[in-house]
Structure 1
């Protein structure tokens, strides 16, 4: 079941656009080609309500040696995406979103979950949003981790199915078909067409 099953998103929804960065949308180890398919939708939503659009950026470790715990092993495996190898410019949002993302609405994180970054979590709590609208990449990693934290915190979550993407098409599809529907009382799955009359209006 999809759509706004629990009514309009309320007076002050926020869109959380997850990790639409050069790191993922340009050729490289973490290239997510499907991100280009959803970019126009993310831009349209942000342009419709720029003041209500927040953006996250995933910051890889500078090197495996600077990472802690299992992240050190992770970055030994993914050494090619460490900041020493890729350069800090790769964490920038992609150009079409840069002009829509005021600095105070861009939040950096070093883990999958946006809520693990204290400034982001505080900003969301202070805004007391009537709903959180999730877009971005990847459906089965950072978007999923952030949605599950939002669920635990009691936020109403709207997942825009044509505005999320992943590098693994099977994992993306499996999450939309089987994982997110498990949270049917807390996560509403809808399309941009279903959201936009309430979002832009």
Structure 2
């Protein structure tokens, strides 16, 4: 489903990549203990391949752009927000992995920045089915004024 969204307009696609610490215990503040706890997620243990875009998405960059981040939120540091605002982007269609972590942080930051947020509900995932269901319920019930949810098919129909 993510591929279908990217194929629609690769030049307007932005990938964000979570770049973990190089070694266990590295990072700022609580991220140090996070990478001690989840040391298998460090670049040293998992290898640099974990940060690469997966095929066939890797074939879209460029023209798609990639922003790296060391935390869940792509908004930390402001570069992504400045770029989107300068380009007069007003709507974000969001897809991605870990609905209850990176996707949640992306959506909440986009709301704070005033973007129209459209969440592709069948183009997000979580390692926890319960978390996925709860995130969709949260966005549909609690944040319905700020977040629109729909299937990729519905989004592509709207995008025509």
Length-normalised TM-score, structure 2: 0.93
Rate the CA distance shift 1:50–1:103 in 2: closer, same or farther, 3 A. Answer: closer
Query: Number of residues paired by the alignment?
Result: 160
* More contact order relative to length (CA 8 Å, sep ≥ 6): 1
Which blocks of at least 5 consecutive residues in structure 2 are unaligned?
A: none
SS in 1 for 2:99: coil
Instruction: Indicate yes or no: 2:60 matched with 1:139.
Output: no
CA apart distance, 1:175: 1.0
Structure 1 unaligned spans of 5+: 1-40
Identify the residue that residue 4 of structure 2 maps to in structure 1.
Answer: 44
Residue 180 (structure 1) shift = 4.6
Query: 1:96-140: CA deviations, max 9, x gaps?
Result: 101112176111000000111433222222222131000011111
CA distance in 2 between partners of 1:117 and 1:143 (Å): 17
**Secondary structure at 1:184 match in 2:** coil
Which residue, 74, 77, 80 being the options, matches 2:37?
77
TM-score, normalisation: structure 1:
0.75
Paired with 1:187 and 1:139, the residues of 2 have a C-alpha distance of 14
Q: CA RMSD in A?
A: 1.5
Structure 1 residue 76: Cα displacement: 0.4
Given that residues 55 and 107 in structure 1 are in contact (C-alpha distance below 8 angstroms), is that contact kept between their aligned partners in structure 2?
yes
